[in-house]
Structure 1
Amino acid sequence: MDTALIIGASGGIGQALSTALTARGTAVTGLSRRDHGFDITDPASVEAALSPLTGPFDLIFVATGGLEINGQRPEKSLKEVTAQSLQDQFALNCIGPSLVLQHAPRLLPRDRRAVFAALSARVGSIGDNGYGGWYGYRTAKAALNQMVHTGAIELARSHRASICVTLHPGTVDTALTARYARGHPTVTPDTAAANLLSVLDRLTPDDTGRFFDWAGTPVPW
């Protein structure tokens, strides 16, 4: 990957991805709220940041996401679900990445291997949901998976060597998971980034439209 665009480049995983790719000799373009005023939940901000870019980028990686938004913790029961919490979850975890995906046909090269990847979460898997709860986050991530799967079908028609996937990074020791790890094994952002890049390195166009975990194992929809 000679060139990469990292969305959410100042976050734990995004920053680690940027560092790892730069060490490989990849020219990294990063966008983040902290450093560039980039707000993935604001369509105008996404358009203003991405429209001037010409690429091509061999990798576009959306490393944004949020579990607890505006103080709203993941819902344990239906009675805790609100319209506002669902809107907030969709804005950050589905709509924003989808608007970035909208620019992929223009920003990815057509004449060689190109990758679009977005961070999802195993809890967004419908088939793997045996515990319930976390309604908004689960549903927004499931919607993201569908957007990327559908986008992959369209992208493959014009970019035959493209790979368009969602990825579960595992439980990463970041601010997002600090309150919810609860004794689960965690990895550092650097380890997570190395794992995710290793997965991407092994994927082929036959894998486009799929959902993989940090070890490269397919996750059920």
Structure 2
Amino acid sequence: MSLNDEINSVNALIVGARQGIGFGFVKRLLQDEKIAKVFATSRQLELATDLIAFADEHSERLICLEMDITDELQIVETIQKIHTQVDKLHLVVNCVGLLHEDTLQPEKSLRQINSENLLRYFQINSIGAVLLAKHLLPLLRHGERSVFASISAKLGSIGDNKLGGWYGYRASKAALNMLMRTAAIEYKRSCPKALIVTLHPGTTDTRLSRPFQKNVPAEKLFSVEHTVTQLLAVIEQLQEGDSGQFFSWDGSRLPW
């Protein structure tokens, strides 16, 4: 993967790199000799044992940082640490997402709506991403092409919603799409070389999707490696006019 053949040294940030798609991005990027530095964040770094072990093998290029995207101060501090090592980023992928945790589960009906759970969904799936956009601007404002991608979900498409349910997850991903589209408009004025997109990865075999895989056909359940390959291909093919758009893993545009 190379964001631009004219860029000889690419710096990347993967947010939410402890496992799943985030960790898959880290491993794939480090296979590319054009990638100079990969900054990888985890909310609880002490639990990110695979990531830390991988960093030991790639100590010159992989830097692990602890960051909770629900805490704006932590975002500021982490980006300041990155800024002490590099003066620009070319690729940022926000892989943080919440579908279920502990007693929080996708709602099947209005009876299950809980305001605290809804706030939790928005805090992690929506607000964290726009806070990243706010504070990453100085590292993305440069003369080389850069991409800031957030992992969204087809379930966040209002136009595609035919089944209902999953209120908090659907609404928070729809909010993510709107926040990123709005940020893309502002970035176009202040940071014209940076593209902002949201990406639907397809159903990927990760902890997030595992409880909901039983009705997924085998050919539609992707490995992490396949998902990362597909999403990097979409990122690679982005054009200037694509900023603010919502793409599926196969490169097709999804309805809002």
TM range (shorter): over 0.9
Identity %: 38
Q: Which amino acid aligns with 1:91?
A: Q
- Distance, in Å, in 1 between the alignment partners of 2:223 and 2:44 is 21
Q: Which runs of 5+ in 1 are unaligned?
A: none
**Deviation of residue 190 (structure 1)?**
1.1
Tell me which amino acid in the other structure corresponds to 1:101: A
The one-letter code matched in structure 1 to 2:180 is: V
User: Residues 41 and 130 from structure 1, CA distance in 2 versus in 1: closer, same or farther, beyond 3 angstroms?
Assistant: same
RMSD across aligned positions (CA): 1.2
Partner residue, 1:83:
115
Matching residue of 1:201: 236
Asked if 1:141 corresponds to 2:149, the answer is no
Which residue identity does 2:238 align to in structure 1?
L
The one-letter amino acid paired with 2:77 is A
Is 1:152 the counterpart of 2:184? The answer is: yes
Larger radius of gyration: 2
Q: 2 CA distance for matches of 1:23 and 1:177?
A: 26
Output the amino acid matched with 1:107. L
* Residues 1-221 of structure 1 aligned to structure 2 (within 5 Å): 1=3, 2-25=10-33, 26=35, 27-35=37-45, 36-54=65-83, 55-184=87-216, 185-221=220-256
Between stretches 206-215 and 65-74, larger displacement belongs to 65-74
TM-score by length of 1: 0.96
Q: 1:205 to 1:104 in 2, by over 3 A?
A: farther
How far 1:220 sits from its partner (Å)?
A: 0.4
Per-residue Cα deviation, 1:63-106 (whole angstroms, up to 9, x for no partner): 11010034211001111111101011011101111111112321
- CA distances 1:19-67 after superposition (whole Å, capped 9, x unpaired): 1111112121111123243212222222222233224100111011010
Asked if 2 retains the 8 angstrom alpha-carbon contact of 1:93 and 1:141, the reply is yes
Instruction: Verify the 8 A CA contact 1:11 1:64 in the aligned structure 2.
Output: no
Which consecutive residues of structure 2, in runs of 5 or more, have no partner in the other structure? 4-9, 46-64
Q: TM-score, normalised by structure 2?
A: 0.83
Letter paired with 2:124 = L
For 1:188-221, what per-residue CA distance to the aligned partner results, in whole angstroms no more than 9, with x for missing partners? 1111111100000000111000000100100100
Question: Which 4+ stretches in 1 moved above 3 angstroms?
Answer: none
Q: Could you tell me how far apart the structure 2 residues matched to 1:109 and 1:23 are?
A: 26
